[in-house]
Chain A
Amino acid sequence: MALIADYGLDSPPRRLLLVALSLKDRANQKKMDILHVHKVVRYYEYLRAGPPEVDFSNYDMGGVSYEIHENTQTLEEYGLIEKQGKYYVLTDKGERASKEVRNAFTNEDLQRFAFSKYQLNDLSTDEVMYFMYMMVPETQQSSTHFASLEKKKEALIRSLYEKGRINSVTASKWLGISEKEFSSWVSK
């Protein structure tokens, strides 16, 4: 537990950051760019459906957190994470720290966190942004990006469906058509 005490890792944004970076995505990759860090943590909060552990703002990109942003810099300064190109990864010390902080999560919460990264980390910027805007509609409020993505919604929904990130129930709802109409539309 030494690392938790030394680096204040009982703070929710730090715990969430370390665990997000410790999980593997579909391609067995752990690395994440900053946008995907924000979105994976936000989607995990949605899946958990409990009281929010970190504050998220719905301005600008929607569903991004100043706390996450600030603590990313702090963990980098502490040598727990490092930047490789545009991606963040855990250092060896960060890996050890992530194992310690995982104990603060229930098994169920870790499963949901793993699912969040599994579903989102390999999506393009537009796909991950649109997925989150639609999955958590409150993030559309005050966003400066939603309107432009909405113009491409048919292509984005098709892509998310074909990549298995949404089912036909969700896709047809987002398109505002019946499931039967959706099935016919997507087969074209």
Chain B
Amino acid sequence: MKYIFDTSAVIYLFEKCRLIEELLTFSKRNSLCIPQRVEEEFLFGNVKQSDKVNLKKIFKVTHVTLDSGLLPYFGYDDSDGAIWVISQGLRNSGSWCVIDEIFGRDLCKFLRSVLRLKLRFTGTIGVLKRMKTSGALSQEKLKVVKDTIKQSSFYFDRNLLNELEQLLDKGGK
């Protein structure tokens, strides 16, 4: 399976939850990609050299051609990583866009349900679920992830947090 990650998903999984080994294992059977814009966003600021190396090991940085038809929806501003993720997702209908922000997810829903475009999307929770199912992530680690996300000062939609709770209750199934 191919996944195209937006910045927030990389921040949660990679930076906040430190799922380096788990992501490496998951990337052996799945293609994990980030658009160049997402890489730039993630690397903006102080990032450890070891994280830069691991980022390259886990994620394939992809050159994406912007779908200019999406620009109006983003207020004619291409700085949001989601516009690059969705552009790539629309060109590769078999791949999954990994987006957490409500705006980006709602736009995906609109493109899919109203405009009938072929587009698949999930979020950090969806990826965690697949990592758990594939055996790349243990139940114990999943609990740590939930606590980390809850304590993080980074915004996470309450509905997605509830999904994570449910995932834990079901033992990750």
- The chain A residues found within 8 Å of chain B, CB to CB, are 46-49, 108, 111-112, 114-115, 118, 135, 161-170, 180, 183-184, 186-187
Whether A167 and B101, one on each chain, are in contact in the complex, defined by CB atoms closer than 8 angstroms, is: yes
Q: Which residues of A contact B73 (CB under 8 A)?
A: 47, 115
Sample of 11 further A-B pairs with CB below 8 A, known A47-B72, A47-B73:
A114-B114, A161-B103, A164-B105, A164-B106, A168-B103, A169-B79, A169-B80, A183-B154, A183-B155, A187-B153, A187-B155
A118 to B73: give the CA distance in the assembly, Å: 11
A137 to B121: give the CA distance in the assembly, Å: 33
A167 to B85: give the CA distance in the assembly, Å: 14
Q: Which residues of B contact A118 (CB under 8 A)?
A: 110, 114
A180 to B101: give the CA distance in the assembly, Å: 14
Q: Report how many residues on chain B are interfacial, defined by Cβ distance under 8 Å.
A: 26
Q: Which residues of A contact B104 (CB under 8 A)?
A: 167
Binary A-proximity of B135-155 (CB < 8 A = 1, otherwise 0): 000000000000000001111
A114 to B115: give the CA distance in the assembly, Å: 9
Whether B77 and A115, one on each chain, are in contact in the complex, defined by CB atoms closer than 8 angstroms, is: no
Q: Which 6 A-B pairs have the closest CB atoms?
A: A164-B102, A164-B106, A167-B103, A187-B155, A47-B72, A186-B155
A112 and B152 contact, Cβ closer than 8 Å, known pairs A163-B102, A164-B105: no
- The chain B residues found within 8 Å of chain A, CB to CB, are 45, 69, 72-77, 79-80, 82, 101-106, 110, 114-115, 152-157
Chain A residue with the shortest CB-CB distance to B71: A49
Whether B103 and A165, one on each chain, are in contact in the complex, defined by CB atoms closer than 8 angstroms, is: yes
Instruction: Tell me how far the C-beta of A83 lies from the nearest C-beta in chain B, rounded to whole angstroms.
Output: 27
A168 and B72 contact, Cβ closer than 8 Å, known pairs A114-B114, A183-B155: no
